[in-house]
Amino acid sequence: MNDLTQTPEMLIAQMGARARRAAALLAPAGDAQKTDALRRAAQALRDQAPAILAANARDMDNGIDNGLSAALLDRLRLDADRIAAMADGVDQVALLENPLGSVIDSSVRPNGLELSRVRVPLGVIGIIYESRPNVTADAAALCLRAGNAVILRGGSEAKESNRAIHTAMAEGIAAAGLPADAVQLVPTTDRAVVGALLRASDFVDLIVPRGGKSLVARVQEEARVPVLAHLDGINHSYVDGVADSAMAESLVLNAKLRRTGVCGSTETVLIDRAYGHAPALVKALLDAKCEVRGDDAVQAMDDRVIAAADEDWDTEYLDAIVSIRLVDGVEEAIAHIAAHASHHTDAIITEDAVVAERFLNAVDSAIVMWNASTQFADGGEFGLGAEIGISTGRLHARGPVALEGLTTYKWIVRGRGQARP
Amino acid sequence: MNDLTQTPEMLIAQMGARARRAAALLAPAGDAQKTDALRRAAQALRDQAPAILAANARDMDNGIDNGLSAALLDRLRLDADRIAAMADGVDQVALLENPLGSVIDSSVRPNGLELSRVRVPLGVIGIIYESRPNVTADAAALCLRAGNAVILRGGSEAKESNRAIHTAMAEGIAAAGLPADAVQLVPTTDRAVVGALLRASDFVDLIVPRGGKSLVARVQEEARVPVLAHLDGINHSYVDGVADSAMAESLVLNAKLRRTGVCGSTETVLIDRAYGHAPALVKALLDAKCEVRGDDAVQAMDDRVIAAADEDWDTEYLDAIVSIRLVDGVEEAIAHIAAHASHHTDAIITEDAVVAERFLNAVDSAIVMWNASTQFADGGEFGLGAEIGISTGRLHARGPVALEGLTTYKWIVRGRGQARP
């Protein structure tokens, strides 16, 4: 499969041409055939668990030899439960509502032309990801269900696992009579191939990077193909003067500490000077082993508070660290968020509906919340089923992106011989 | 306004920062204030017609001195009627339905969280255009109505006209209490500024090029900001075996010849071998002074037919020239279109509904038509009001793009204190 004299551009052009042909065959296939393919792929993952585990063991051995961190090794590691969960995830994508063929809107023009906008597949999607091998199955399932062909480029540390998972997925798809090329895995870990994929605008309609900040930054910098991604989740929870104190404490602790490594976690807490329970809130965070970096007023509340530096207001900690500032009401909170947020998810906690609506309208982020934890920023929690990612871009899809974000539409015009005057 | 020591990047960064501030003020402004601004701008265009005509006369003089073609001079030229039409166009944008604030969909999650997706402005839009000065008013009006700030970069040949039109628009907007910086005109015709605008992803959310193929190609090549555009309109009309011959002749002549310079015109006609009236159709085109370039079978129908070369099937003539090929039924027509179309607008003419549906489903173009002229590919004809352009891209907006395509959405989540388990 991998010819050593081949340039990265040649490899991607070949894979891209195969993906285009596969996409053309997928588009007219019925939804039943696609869900059948997913169920067969899920079963193939279960049937081939021993081979997948053996491949994963080779990756783990290499990872240990190469000195991967414990965190990376944990992301890389598969076991029987994780394979079962991966297969169940593929089955669940088969249970989602069919995103294709639905009529977005329709109209009849005065001249009798009947217009409708109908959802169709996006085309060919490139997924670039790092150490988690489950992305090979998750992303392939979502792309396929939306009628797209996908080119997967996983991390070198997971190459054996990815190959084994891809084999199972492709077998399931072929067994349902769909083209196995609908899901292709880049057969080399040569980094130059990523560059070729990012520039392949003739063959790829959308790139989705799944991984850490350095990967996403590289993709956004180099890509000539449209990218759907978020770089940062610098999210805010604003505690208004008339917030309920028990709710504020519960939500802020959940938003910051439930899981600190997820993109929906709160990184900065803004507290209205009029809020009467700020010291108790700061103490609760500190007592929960969260490092607090505060402005002067917050430092005065507890000896354990560290002075926040300017860069703290622009930092995504992804750790048990929070920056806290007092503000003069909702307008100063909105201004702080406008200056520092990454436009991912920002929340207000208040009992005042008017203040809440002002915040929800004025904060220009993909997700804005009232009296809820920012950790709910997730396609599954939003009822979308699995998500391909969360977008902080403004075009095409914003916030959690699932099947609908992997589609586009066409205009269908039905006439009875109308010529244009 | 124009400091000669300033680099293009500095200029665009300053204009971009002003645009971001203006967009932040526009977003919360009510729709009534925006429509008021448009009406005042339309009136300012009428009131300042003498100044606009004087500016245009200077552009025309320069154009003649610089040897512009008659076609370019016609595009550049304004008169009282054209200014009145421009002002009326701005008024009409004020009559369109407000695209902002509408709820796209909503749901209540099992945990009681209330979710909705609400339309909001896209942000800052850059428009790069050539000789037609009316774009200064049209594009500004559409962007403003959708709550966006706009940076306009018109062609050097129209710089005096654009400046005068921009002055009127900005005065109308300021008179309504909205920031005049919502509509900015790049104050220099230095081509390097276009490059800076195309790379200004911190300040600009979308670029729309309005002009010829070389402009669009340059924009698509250089832009780091998302681009909404179409490069080609290589459109097909396929005459099926069971087409009504009178309808086929009427539609093909209209699709090709109504206006040959528009992007929705048909460039290639595919005729089913089973269609009994092909020679009459070819003769009608020739008699209407259309040059016909045909395959062997079409050449045999009439001495006036020229042999089509390979590149004819990939050529957008934008002229009274058509390429014609015989095909074996709808499947060969679909295959030809897949290989040669620019995915803009393609039509089938047939009395067979099953064949028509097959074509409408299988042809992967922004617009697919049954028994209608491809010349209907137009936002106004689709009932969208004015259009900012037609997109052959697959993301965000496809086909005619009007107000909705200049918006995005945000997710609003309303809770009652829910923390994520």
Distance CA B61, CA B53 (A): 12
Cβ-contact B61, B79 below 8 angstroms: no
Cα→Cα distances A274→A239, A241, B227, B349, Å: 10, 5, 46, 70
Give A217's contacts (C-beta < 8 A, 6+ positions apart): A231
**Beta-carbon count within 10 A of A290 CB:** 20
Distance CA B127, CA B129 (A): 6
| pLDDT greater than 90 at residue A212 | no
* A396 interfaces chain B, CB cutoff of 8 Å: yes
pLDDT, tens only, B346-394: 999 999 999 999 999 999 999 999 999 999 999 999 999 888 989 999 9
Q: What is the DSSP letter of A9?
A: H
Same domain, A64 and A141: yes
Same domain, B35 and B111: yes
Residue B151 covered by a domain: yes
pLDDT, tens only, B74-99: 999 999 999 999 999 999 999 999 99
pLDDT, tens only, A143-165: 999 999 999 999 999 999 999 99
Three-point CA angle B234, B237, B239, nearest 5°: 155
Distance CA B375, CA A318 (A): 54
**Residue type for A148, please?**
N
Cβ-contact A329, A359 below 8 angstroms: no
Residue A420 covered by a domain: no
Residue A386 covered by a domain: no
**Beta-carbon count within 10 A of B354 CB:** 9
Q: What is the DSSP letter of B196?
A: H
Bridge partners of A239, per DSSP, are A271, A349
Distance CA A401, CA A219 (A): 18
Segment (H or E) for B207: strand B206-210
Chain A residue numbers touching B381 (CB-CB < 8 A):
109, 113, 420
Nearest to A369 among B226, B371, B413 (CB): B413
Distance CA A119, CA A237 (A): 36
Residues A36-63, mean pLDDT to the nearest whole number: 98
Q: What is the pLDDT of residue B196?
A: 96
Q: What is the pLDDT of residue A4?
A: 58
Q: Which residue of chain B comes nearest to A392, CA vs CA?
A: B410
Distance CA A339, CA A327 (A): 14
Cβ-contact A405, A121 below 8 angstroms: no
Q: What are phi and psi of B269, to 5 degrees?
A: -110, 125
Three-point CA angle A366, A370, A372, nearest 5°: 95
Secondary structure, 3-state, A233-248: CCEEEEECCCCCHHHH
Q: Is B73 exposed, middle or buried (0-12, 13-18, 19+ CB in 10 A)?
A: middle
**Residue type for B136, please?**
T
pLDDT, tens only, B118-177: 999 999 999 999 888 999 999 999 999 999 999 999 999 999 999 999 999 999 999 999
Distance CA A136, CA A82 (A): 13
Same domain, A317 and A194: no
Cβ-contact A390, A344 below 8 angstroms: yes
Bridge partners of A306, per DSSP, are A293
Same domain, B263 and B300: yes
Same domain, B254 and B207: no
pLDDT, averaged across chain A: 95
Q: Which of residues 191-210 of A touch B (CB under 8 A)?
A: 205-206
Cβ-contact B371, B251 below 8 angstroms: yes
| pLDDT greater than 70 at residue B1 | no
Q: What is the CATH number of the domain that holds A152?
A: 3.40.605.10
Cβ-contact B418, A373 below 8 angstroms: yes
Q: Is B66 exposed, middle or buried (0-12, 13-18, 19+ CB in 10 A)?
A: exposed
Three-point CA angle B244, B322, B296, nearest 5°: 85
What angle separates helix B159-175 from helix B49-65, to the nearest 10 degrees?
160
Bridge partners of A397, per DSSP, are none
* A276 interfaces chain B, CB cutoff of 8 Å: no
What's the CA dihedral at A12, A17, A23, A24 to 10 degrees? 170
Same domain, A111 and A260: no
Q: Are A383 and B109 a contacting pair at CB < 8 A? A: yes
Q: Are B382 and A109 a contacting pair at CB < 8 A? A: yes
Output the six-digit token pair for B306. Answer: 């020229």
Q: Quote the domain boundaries for residue A166.
A: 8-228+400-412
Q: What is the DSSP letter of A300?
A: T
* B381 interfaces chain A, CB cutoff of 8 Å: yes
Distance CA B191, CA B210 (A): 16
Residue B2 covered by a domain: no
Cβ-contact B348, B359 below 8 angstroms: yes
| Greatest pairwise CA separation for chain B in angstroms | 80
Chain A residue numbers touching B362 (CB-CB < 8 A):
27-28
Cβ-contact A141, A116 below 8 angstroms: no
Residue of B143, B92, B195, B40 lying closest to B388 (CA atoms) = B143
Same domain, B199 and B342: no
| pLDDT greater than 80 at residue B5 | no
DSSP-assigned states of every residue in B250-310: HHHHHHHHS-TTSTTSEEEEEEETT-TTHHHHHHHHHHTT-EEEE-HHHHTT-TTPEEPPG
Same domain, A97 and A183: yes
Distance CA A282, CA A284 (A): 5
pLDDT, greater one: B6 or B310: B310
Q: Are A398 and B376 a contacting pair at CB < 8 A? A: no
Q: What's the gap in Å between the CA of A31 and the closest CA on chain B?
A: 14
Distance CA A272, CA A253 (A): 17
pLDDT, averaged across chain B: 95
Q: Are B120 and A364 a contacting pair at CB < 8 A? A: yes
Q: What is the pLDDT of residue B189?
A: 84
pLDDT, tens only, A317-361: 999 999 999 999 999 999 999 999 999 999 999 999 999 999 999
Chain B residue numbers touching A205 (CB-CB < 8 A):
394-395
| pLDDT greater than 90 at residue B232 | no
Distance CA B292, CA B324 (A): 7
Q: Is B208 exposed, middle or buried (0-12, 13-18, 19+ CB in 10 A)?
A: buried
pLDDT, tens only, A89-143: 999 999 999 999 999 999 999 999 999 999 999 999 999 998 889 999 999 999 9
| pLDDT greater than 80 at residue B4 | no
Q: What are phi and psi of B202, to 5 degrees?
A: -75, -25
Same domain, A250 and A169: no
* A394 interfaces chain B, CB cutoff of 8 Å: yes
| pLDDT greater than 50 at residue B313 | yes
ipTM of the complex model = 0.94
Handedness of CA A296, A301, A305, A311 (dihedral sign): negative
Residue A418 covered by a domain: no
Same domain, A342 and A217: no
Q: Are B420 and A382 a contacting pair at CB < 8 A? A: no
Count structural domains, chain B. Answer: 2
Output the six-digit token pair for B254. Answer: 């209209």
* A109 interfaces chain B, CB cutoff of 8 Å: yes
Residue of B112, B168, B178, B171 lying closest to B145 (CA atoms) = B178
pLDDT, tens only, A215-254: 999 998 899 899 998 888 999 999 999 999 999 999 999 9
Residue A16 covered by a domain: yes
Q: What are phi and psi of A385, to 5 degrees?
A: 80, -155
Secondary structure, 3-state, A85-102: HHHHHHHHHHHCCCCCCC
Cβ-contact A126, A225 below 8 angstroms: yes
In the block, tokens 């701005």 appear at B90
Distance CA B59, CA A312 (A): 53
Residues A4-26, mean pLDDT to the nearest whole number: 92
pLDDT, tens only, A280-320: 999 999 999 999 999 999 999 999 999 999 999 999 999 99
pLDDT, tens only, B242-299: 999 999 999 999 999 999 999 999 999 999 999 999 999 999 999 999 999 999 999 9
Same domain, B322 and B339: yes
**Residue type for A300, please?**
A
Q: Are B400 and A411 a contacting pair at CB < 8 A? A: yes
Cβ-contact B236, B346 below 8 angstroms: yes
Cβ-contact A388, A146 below 8 angstroms: no
Same domain, A216 and A239: no
Q: What is the CATH number of the domain that holds B300?
A: 3.40.309.10
pLDDT, tens only, A355-396: 999 999 999 999 999 999 999 999 999 999 888 989 999 999
Segment (H or E) for A218: helix A213-222
Residue B271 covered by a domain: yes
Residue A319 covered by a domain: yes
Secondary structure, 3-state, A308-323: CCHHHHHCCCCCCEEE
Handedness of CA A38, A40, A44, A47 (dihedral sign): positive
